[in-house]
């Protein structure tokens, strides 16, 4: 049965004991809703209950807002550091001893302040200036200072502007080093040494100031004379380069010639040593031969003398083209021009052919034989 049917007497009317069938009263509905909410948060009934329910609603809203603020405050303090980063914590402006390491961390906002820096990244500071050298010449020097953060506390808190301190230190170091160096060394081979000296001086300044900066390298990019005399200095540099080139060529030539000369000298020494040994050996052999020949000569002088004579004449006549024959018993000496005889024989052989040439050659030994026979007879 519906609550608004006849005979229900309004017992189930949710809007109270209304006798009419009009629309419900909105004020009454909100009032009952407030009472119900007040009951949920511990409020009483009636007018006192309604006021107590309103106070409980306000306190609950405040608690919710405070909870949200606390959660937000907690999330605001969460941060993460990379492997290259380090952090410095300031609590109410006072630095803490511990350095924040990489990883997930939390700090109370407003109470603490975290200063984060990358300590692994290599930073570069370019520098360009003109200055006087030791011999009172003006040069332009361009260099680059490479550095990293070595102490994050000193870098963040010890000096207000570390990069500005680095710039001033670089200016001072460059002027000191260049001012004590001659211009030729600054422009040529002295650049590497100058870079090392500048690096040492800058690092000393950084340690003195407590900037927390570590200088890794100083690269001298360019050293040049003033523009007004640049061409003249370029000519000087080219002349020195030519000098170095010619000197290298001379050294290369010397390295080529000297070993050859030493090898040639060694060859001469070895040849002379071989000649000495050969001559000594021949002399020893001749001496031994003479000793043995002397023994034979004492045993048979005539035979040995004749043998020596024949051996000597054989050795001499074998290399001679002309032969002189002494005829016994007379004053005449027979002359045999063997060289001309051979030339004539060759000419005849070319004219008469191979056969005639062979016949003429075969007859000459017979004539020589006859000559020797006549000599023996006489």
Chunked into runs of 10 residues, the chain (378 residues) has average pLDDT values of 51 49 58 60 47 62 81 80 84 80 80 84 90 86 92 87 92 92 82 89 93 92 80 81 92 91 93 94 91 86 86 77 63 61 73 53 43 39
The pLDDT value given to residue 18: 47
The pLDDT value given to residue 357: 44
Q: Is residue 258 assigned to a domain? A: no
Residue 101 in tokens: 């390491």
Q: Rounded CA gap, 19 and 11, in Å?
A: 11
Give per-residue pLDDT as tens, 73-114.
777 778 788 888 888 888 887 888 778 888 887 877 878 788
The pLDDT value given to residue 83: 82
Q: Are strands 78-81 and 85-91 parallel, antiparallel or unpaired?
A: unpaired
Q: Which domain holds residue 146?
A: 122-225
Of 110, 141, 136, which is closest to residue 221 (Cα–Cα)? Answer: 141
Q: Is residue 46 assigned to a domain? A: no
Give me the count of residues in the chain.
Answer: 378
Residue 290 in tokens: 């003479």
Q: Rounded CA gap, 13 and 178, in Å?
A: 105
Whether 86 and 131 share a structural domain? no
Whether 89 and 179 share a structural domain? no
Domain boundary among 191, 225, 259: 225
The pLDDT value given to residue 167: 93
The pLDDT value given to residue 366: 43
Burial of 339 (0-12, 13-18, 19+ CB in 10 A): exposed
Domain count, the chain: 3
Distances (CA, A) of 295 to 138, 260, 266: 100, 52, 44
pTM listed for this prediction: 0.47
Domain boundary among 57, 87, 117: 117
Q: Rounded CA gap, 178 and 132, in Å?
A: 7
Domain boundary among 117, 137, 163: 117
The pLDDT value given to residue 323: 63
Contact 86, 100 (CB under 8 A): yes
Whether 91 and 152 share a structural domain? no
The pLDDT value given to residue 339: 65
Whether 86 and 164 share a structural domain? no
Q: Is residue 152 assigned to a domain? A: yes
Q: Is residue 144 assigned to a domain? A: yes
Q: Is residue 338 assigned to a domain? A: yes
Helix (H) or strand (E) holding 271: helix 230-299
Whether 126 and 200 share a structural domain? yes
């Amino acid at each position: 049965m519906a609550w608004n049917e006849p005979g229900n007497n309004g017992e189930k009317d949710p809007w109270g004991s209304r006798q009419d069938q009009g629309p419900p009263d909105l004020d009454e509905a909100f009032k009952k809703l407030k009472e119900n909410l007040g009951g949920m948060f511990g409020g009483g009934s009636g007018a006192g209950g309604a006021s107590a329910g309103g106070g409980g609603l306000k306190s609950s809203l405040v608690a919710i807002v405070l909870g949200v603020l606390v959660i937000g405050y907690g999330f605001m303090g969460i941060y993460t550091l990379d492997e290259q980063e380090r952090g410095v914590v300031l609590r109410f402006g006072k630095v803490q001893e511990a350095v924040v390491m990489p990883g997930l961390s939390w700090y109370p906002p407003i109470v603490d302040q975290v200063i984060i820096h990358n300590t692994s990244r290599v930073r570069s500071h370019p520098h360009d200036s003109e200055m006087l050298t030791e011999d009172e010449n003006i040069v332009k020097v361009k260099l680059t200072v490479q550095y990293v953060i070595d102490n994050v506390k000193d870098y963040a808190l010890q000096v207000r502007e570390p990069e500005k301190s680095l710039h001033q230190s670089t200016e001072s170091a460059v002027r000191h080093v260049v001012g004590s160096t001659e211009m030729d060394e600054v422009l040529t081979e002295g650049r590497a040494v100058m870079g090392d000296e500048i690096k040492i001086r800058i690092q000393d300044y950084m340690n003195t100031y407590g900037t927390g900066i570590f200088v890794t390298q100083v690269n001298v990019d360019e050293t040049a004379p003033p523009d007004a005399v640049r061409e003249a200095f370029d000519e000087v540099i080219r002349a020195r380069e030519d000098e170095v080139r010619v000197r290298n060529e001379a050294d290369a030539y010397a390295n080529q010639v000297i070993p050859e000369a030493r090898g040639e000298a060694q060859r001469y020494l070895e040849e002379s040593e071989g000649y000495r040994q050969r001559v000594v050996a021949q002399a020893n052999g001749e001496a031994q031969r003479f000793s043995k020949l002397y023994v034979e000569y004492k045993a048979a002088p005539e035979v040995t003398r004749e043998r020596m004579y024949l051996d000597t004449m054989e050795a001499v006549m074998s290399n001679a083209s002309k032969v002189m024959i002494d005829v016994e018993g007379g004053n005449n000496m027979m002359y045999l021009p063997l060289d001309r005889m051979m030339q004539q024989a060759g000419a005849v052989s070319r004219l008469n052919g191979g056969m005639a040439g062979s016949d003429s050659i075969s007859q000459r030994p017979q004539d020589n034989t006859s000559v020797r026979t006549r000599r023996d007879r006489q």
